[in-house]
C-alpha cells in the first residue's frame, strides 16, 4: 500500500550543557513537521508546534542551541494537546513518518510513557539518517547539516529549530527519492 503523504518530524527538547538537573527530564518543546507529497515529491506544508514543558525548564544552553526561550514556550500547548493535534490535524496515527535518526521516535516513546499520553504515531517510521547512509553505501552517519552538504543542498532556515529542520530533512528525502534511494 502506497501512502501519498509522509510526515517528516523533528523535535527540539529541553537540554543542558552537562547532565540534566535533578528531577528534570528532557521534554519536547517544539515539534517540527513537514508534510511531503510522495507522488509529486514536493514539500506541501511546514509547521512548528511549540510545546510547554511541564517537568523541566528551558536552559540558557538550550536557548543558545534552539533560539527557543522559556517565555516563548511558557504559554504554549501541553504535550498531550500536541500529540492530539498530531493525530487530528496531521493523521500521525495512520500516516507513515520519518525523522533524522531514532532520537525523535525514542523521545516521543519515553515522554508518552512517562506522562501516560497516548503515542501519536503509527508503526511505519523510517530512520532517514540510516536511509541516507544506505543510499550512499557508507557506514558513516551524517548529521542533518552534513548530509545537506554531502547532497549539495542548502540548509534553509535556522538549524535546531524543529520546523526548519523537518523542512530540510524532507529535502534530503526528496533527493533520495529522485535517486531511488528512499525505502518504500
The pLDDT of residue 179 is above 70: yes
The answer to the question of residue 91 being in a domain is yes
Q: Give the residue from 37, 19, 47, 2 showing the smallest Cα distance to 166.
A: 47
Q: What is the pLDDT of residues 43-66, one digit of tens each?
A: 999 999 999 999 999 999 999 999
> In the predicted model, what is the mean pLDDT of the chain?
96
Q: What pLDDT does 2 receive?
A: 56
The pLDDT of residue 110 is above 60: yes
Rounded to whole angstroms, the Cα distance separating 97 from 99 reads 7
17-43 mean pLDDT: 97
The answer to the question of residue 77 being in a domain is yes
Rounded to whole angstroms, the Cα distance separating 181 from 108 reads 27
Question: Which CATH number is 36's domain given?
Answer: 3.30.420.10
The answer to the question of residue 183 being in a domain is no
The answer to the question of residue 73 being in a domain is yes
Q: Is the pTM of this model over 0.85?
A: yes
Note down the domain range covering 122. Answer: 5-178
Task: Give the chain's domain count.
Answer: 1
Q: What pLDDT does 1 receive?
A: 42
- C-alpha distances in angstroms, 34 versus 5, 39, 47, 57, 151? 10, 15, 6, 26, 19
Q: What is the pLDDT of residues 122-164, one digit of tens each?
A: 999 999 999 999 999 999 999 999 999 999 999 999 999 999 9
Q: What pLDDT does 3 receive?
A: 83
Q: What is the pLDDT of residues 61-95, one digit of tens each?
A: 999 999 999 999 999 999 999 999 999 999 999 99
R_g of the chain computed on alpha carbons: 16
The answer to the question of residue 170 being in a domain is yes
Amino acid at each position: 500500500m502506497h501512502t501519498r503523504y509522509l510526515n517528516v518530524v523533528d523535535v527540539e527538547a529541553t537540554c543542558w550543557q552537562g547532565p540534566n538537573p535533578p528531577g528534570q527530564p528532557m521534554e519536547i518543546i517544539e515539534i517540527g513537521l513537514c508534510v511531503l507529497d510522495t507522488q509529486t515529491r514536493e514539500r506541501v506544508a511546514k509547521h512548528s508546534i511549540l510545546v510547554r514543558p511541564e517537568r523541566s525548564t528551558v536552559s540558557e544552553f538550550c536557548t543558545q542551541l534552539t533560539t527557543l526561550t522559556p517565555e516563548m514556550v511558557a504559554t504554549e500547548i501541553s504535550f498531550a494537546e500536541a500529540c492530539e493535534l498530531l493525530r487530528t490535524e496531521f493523521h500521525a496515527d495512520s500516516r507513515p513518518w520519518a525523522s533524522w535518526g531514532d532520537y525523535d521516535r525514542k523521545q516521543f516513546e519515553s515522554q508518552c510513557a512517562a506522562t501516560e499520553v497516548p503515542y501519536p504515531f503509527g508503526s511505519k517510521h523510517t530512520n532517514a539518517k540510516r536511509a541516507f547512509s544506505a543510499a550512499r553505501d557508507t557506514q558513516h552517519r551524517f548529521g542533518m547539516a552534513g548530509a545537506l552538504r554531502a547532497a549539495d543542498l542548502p540548509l534553509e532556515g535556522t538549524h535546531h529549530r524543529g520546523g526548519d529542520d523537518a523542512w530540510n530533512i524532507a529535502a534530503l528525502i526528496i533527493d533520495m527519492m529522485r535517486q531511488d534511494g528512499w525505502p518504500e
